[in-house]
Structure formats: structure tokens, C-alpha cells
A and B are shown apart, each in its own frame.
Chain A
Amino acid sequence: MKNSLNFLIEVNKLKEMPRTGWILQGAKNPETIAEHTVRMAFTAWLLGREKKLNIKKLIKLAIFHDLCEVYAGDNTPFFYYQNLEGREGEKAMLKGPRLAQKEKKKLGEKKFILEKNALLKLISPLNLNIKKDIFSSWLDFEKKFSPEGRFVREIDRIETLLQSIEYFGNKEKIAGSSWWEQTEEFVEDPFLLEFLKIIQNRFYGKRFLRNKKLENILDFIVEIGKLKRMPRLYWKLRGVKNPETIAGHIFTLMLMVLIFGREKKQLNMEKLLKMALCHEITAVYTKDTIPYDINFPKDKKELAKILEKAPYSSKDQKTKKFLKDYQEEKESIKRLFLKLPGSLESEIIQLWDEYRNRSSSESRFLAQLNVLAILLQGLLYKRREKKFSVSALWEWVFEICDDPCILALMDEMKGKL
């Protein structure tokens, strides 16, 4: 338990590490490694189901694939280049790396060893089962052993490509061709190649053969991207500098599911993972909410003081707030899923509804892990800033958590942080 907590604290750094490629190319407020991972997990799920791949495995590979970067750093293909400064460097980055085959192989091996050692260092304190799972998943992703490994590797490129279009647009002079070049070198799955054509239709005005289903999935993936840019409201109102985003929070929760959910043999892991991905999905339209039913005072200091305490209210007030939020979120859901394939829409709505109403074992477990993820983040902010109060978070945990595994983790957090 203690080692799992230490691991979570370390990987939490990925929520504060912007992706190197975006920094190099001057993107404003670039996404973090954790945020990229979350949309990649979504994309792998939504597209992987069309190919009837193992969804649990796809999501797991996506979540684990960049953990090594906690210590290895985020190395772009420009890892190959020695000097990227000045105008020559800028020009070089607009195109993909131009190197001889032999050199690419040598540097690729160097990168592999660097990342492998970093990952082994990161996971070394964990128990054997988790360690094996993370390492074998990463290896599968790197070496493309399984169909899921190959698929997620290609999804990684596609999600990055999509993000590059969202940052830099579609004009080659500004965006360069490197993202497309790298994607087209990498992606070979015919289904994903078709998806790339849909991206070109959407963003480049091309007129390749239309596929309504894939177009709608693309639209949904683009919408989900908003979660990468939405700071969590509670932290923002508490005055936290550079607070985690909703996508960042989902990243922590997914990892907690993979580590602690495996002990709960009676729970459906695939369902837990999907539910974790979807639990805040309505924030795309409703924005993030907090469990306080108050008129926010204009004075920020006064507001921060209110939020330092747990939200106290009568049962009636709690129920009214719950129903109001639930209705608004349900409206948001209808908009978000309007165009998704029927069975996928039903599945996601069902997952979200179960979570909101705590109507299944998975939803009850996940709700408790969720509040622990929030507490963990709060404790890490407190490490940064000693005066940051976490009393309200502890009170939430005391009210919400009753699962023995969760209570054990809570006790570990009491001791450690």
C-alpha cells in the first residue's frame, strides 16, 4: 500500500509536465503528458470497439504507455537532433527528422533503453503483479506484440496529430508537416488510415469517401479535448496556481483504478476503467461543479475561506442540489452524445448514470477512489504550500468512504502526507 502511494505521488508529476513537442513549437498552455494520455485512452476505446479489440487492454496500454517519462522526460522524435536553436532549428522542426536509417535505429535503441530503465526505476517498489502488468504493457506498446499494442501505438500518433491541428491549424507554413509525416510513417492499420482520411475531410476540406460513424466519433473526440483545458473548479476557487485539469484528475483516477481495483475481484475492471473515463464527461458542457450550494462572494479570500470547510447543509438542500446538477448534466449528455452510434451512446450514458446514482458496486467503489484522488491532490498542494488547508477534503473522505481497501489507503495517506 505504501509503495503504491509513493508510486502515485511520483506519476502525479506527469500532470505538471507539458509535452516537449508543443513547447518546442511554441504552443500556448500546452497539454501535459497526463492529459494526452486520457484522450488517448478515450480514442483507443472508441475506435478499438469498432475493431472488436480488447477494450480493457487498450485503455490499460494507453494509461501506462508514458509513465516512464516521469524520469526519462518526454522525448520527441527531435531527440535525434543535437541542435535545434535559431532559424535553422525552427525550420528543421517544421519537417520530420531527416536522418539515415542506421542513425535512426541507433538513436531509437538509445531512447528505448533510457525509457526502459526509467520505467523499471519507477515501478521497482511496487508489488510483483502490478510491476509485471505495467512493464509488460509498456513493452507491448513499444514492440507492438499484440493487436492492441499495435493499435494503441498508432492511436498515440493520431491523438498527437489531432492536438497539433488544434494548436497550429492546417496551414503547412505554420503547422509544418512533421506531425503528418510522423503519423503517416507510423500508421498502417487500414481502419486508422481511414480515420486519418476523416481527419483530412474535417480539417483540410478534403473530400475522401465519407464515413458518418467515424466523423461522429471524431467530433466526440474533439469535444473531449476540452477536458484538457478545464482547470478543476475547486482548486481554482481555492487559489491554487496551475491547478490540475479535469483530464489530469481522470489520469490519477484511472491509475488508482488499475492499482487498487485489481484487489476487488468481484468488480468488472473494464467497467471501472470506462466509468472513470466518463465520470466527469458532462463537464464538457456544464463546466466543472463543486458540492457547495452557495452564492459565491465576490471577495476571493472570503470565498477561499468558505471552501476550506466541508459543505454543510440539510438533507433537503443536498437532494435539491444533487437533482439540479443531475438534470443539467443529463441535458449536457444528450448534446454530447447526439451523434454517437446508438450502442456506444447507451453504454456511456448508463456508465455515467450509474456513477451519479451510485447504483452499482463499481460506481460505489469508484466514487470512493475519486474522493481519495482529490484528497491526494490536495495533500500534494499542501506540500507545495504549507498554509493550504485540507480539512474539508478529509471530512469528505470520512463521510464518503467505507470500502476496507479504500480505508486502508486513506490510513496510509494519513501517515505519509
Chain B
Amino acid sequence: MTGEKKFYLTKEGLVKIEKEFNDLKILKLAKISGESPKILHSEDLNQEYLSFQEDLSFIESRLMELEHIFKNVELIKTPVKVKQNIIDLGATVTLEQKDGSINEFTLVGSLEANPAVGKISNESPVGKFLLGHKINDEIIITSPIKVLYKVKKIKYSLS
């Protein structure tokens, strides 16, 4: 397993893909057997999702992808109290710029990253630079422009 990429997921993220995995297995079974199981009519799966999933080969490749993720998953956990002043996966970080404007992100793995809702990947340049820093640390990304971030707050609130 050495050299395999790790997939960091929050508990919520893991539950979400486990559900997707189970739903896809049922869908695959239904396609192969030509039946339409009752679960497919529940509110949890909307019709738009079902229609698109009609392609069996897509289902199979997605199942393989998810299996690979499960084999290499690592849950993001809240660190012990003494380490909660250090930025790590799962931390919600408040950054301040020189002009006082505030930016806030939570550091997650690449599967859950969505900067539009404030979740950035630990493998993004900003994510990489933030890891291991503490409050009041100044982080500078200098290439090709200079971006200065000052760490104002670090919070862990994973369930």
C-alpha cells in the first residue's frame, strides 16, 4: 500500500460516498436483472440522478473508483486539545489581510474541496502552505505574486 494516494475524508464525507456506493450497487443490480427495486422510488434518489446513471459502464467505473477510495481512505479527526492550535486537516482557519479583510476556509481532502463554500483542499497551494502553522503566523505565497495571509483563528468542529 506504500505509495498509494490517501483520500482524506470527514465523517460526513465518508457517509455520503458510502451511501452513493450502496445506491450504485442497487442500481447496477437493477440494471442487470431488469428489475426496478423499491428503493429507487424513494425520495432519496431523484429521477434526474437515475436517468443519468443509466449507463452501466459508468456505474461500474464509479464503483471501482469508490472501492479504491475506501481502500485508501483516512478519516479526518479532531486533533487532541494540545494540538488544536496548529492548522491540520479539519481546521477552520480565519485569515486576515493587511487591509483587515477576513477570509475563512476549512481544510479538507481533495474529494470534499469546494472553495465556493469555503472548503479548500490540503493539496492546493494555499492548503499546503497553511498546514502546520499557528495563530499569528504569517504565511506568504510569493510566486508569481505576493499573497500574505495572517492566521487569526483556528477552530476544530468536526463531529
Residues on A lying within 8 angstroms of B by beta carbon are 266, 268, 271, 291, 309-310, 312-315, 318-319, 321-322, 342-343, 345-347, 349-351, 353, 357-358, 360-361, 364, 390-391, 394-403, 407, 414
Residues of B within 8 A of A (CB): 47-52, 54, 58, 61-62, 65, 92, 94, 97, 101-106, 110-111, 113-118, 120-127, 141, 143-145, 147
How distant is the Cα of A395 from the Cα of B143 in the complex, in angstroms? Answer: 11
Report Cα–Cα, A344/B65, bound state, in Å.
25
* Smallest CB gap from B129: residue in A: A398
Identity of the chain B residue whose Cβ is nearest the Cβ of A379 in the assembled complex:
B144
Residues of A within 8 A of B121 (CB): 402
Q: Are A394 and B144 in contact (CB under 8 A)?
A: yes
Q: Give which listed residue, A266, A310, A313, contacts B65 with CB less than 8 A.
A: A266
19 contacts between A and B (CB under 8 A): A268-B58, A271-B58, A313-B102, A322-B116, A346-B52, A347-B52, A350-B48, A364-B113, A391-B147, A397-B125, A399-B115, A399-B120, A399-B125, A399-B126, A400-B124, A402-B123, A402-B127, A403-B110, A407-B125
One of A268, A313, A349, A361 near B48 (C-beta < 8 A): A349
Q: Closest A-chain residue to B100, C-beta based?
A: A312
- Distance (whole angstroms) from the CB of A294 to the closest CB of chain B: 11
Main secondary structure of the interface of B (DSSP, over half): mixed
Which residue of chain A has its CB nearest to the CB of B92? A315
- Bound Cα distance from A266 to B94, whole angstroms: 35
For the complex of A and B, 10 pairs with smallest distance between CB atoms: A346-B51, A315-B118, A402-B123, A350-B52, A402-B121, A312-B103, A398-B125, A318-B118, A402-B124, A312-B101
Complex partner residue of B113 from A268, A342, A353, A358, CB under 8 angstroms: A358
Cα A312 to Cα B99 with chains together (Å): 11
Residues from chain B with a CB closer than 8 A to the CB of A395 are: 145, 147
Which residue from chain A places its CB closest to the CB of B102 in the assembled complex?
A312
Give Cα A400 to B141, complex, Å.
14
With contacts defined as CB atoms under 8 Å apart, how many contacts are there between chain A and chain B in the complex? 99
CA distance A364 to B123 in the complex (A): 13
- Let me know if B51 and A315 touch, CB within 8 A: no
Q: Do A322 and B125 have beta carbons less than 8 Å apart?
A: no
How far is the CB of A316 from the nearest CB of chain B, in Å? 8
Task: Please name all residues of chain B whose beta carbon is closer than 8 Å to the beta carbon of A397 when the two chains form the complex.
Answer: 125
Roughly how many angstroms separate A353 CA and B49 CA in the complex, as a whole number?
10
Least distance between A152 CB and chain B CB atoms (Å): 23
- In the bound assembly, the distance between CA atoms of A398 and B123 in angstroms comes to 10
Is B110 within 8 A of A364, CB to CB?
yes
Query: How close is A404's CB to chain B, nearest CB, in angstroms?
Result: 8
> Once the chains bind, are B49 and A350 in contact (CB under 8 Å)?
yes
Q: Which residues of A contact B92 (CB under 8 A)?
A: 315
Chain B nearest CB, measured from A328 CB (Å) = 14
The chain A residue with its CB closest to the CB of B96 is A312
Chain A positions within 8 Å of B54 at CB level: 343
In the complex, residue of chain A having the shortest beta-carbon distance to the beta carbon of B52: A350
Identify which of A312, A315, A343, A398 contacts B106 (C-beta below 8 A): A315
- The reply to whether A391 and B145 form a contact with Cβ atoms under 8 Å apart is yes
Query: Bound complex: CA of A237 vs CA of B129, how far in Å?
Result: 31
Min distance, Cβ B150 to any Cβ of chain A, angstroms: 12
Residues on B with beta carbons closer than 8 Å to the beta carbon of A346:
47-48, 50-52
Are B124's CB and A312's CB within 8 A? no
Q: Hey, which chain A residues are within 8 Å of B48, CB to CB?
A: 345-346, 349-350, 353
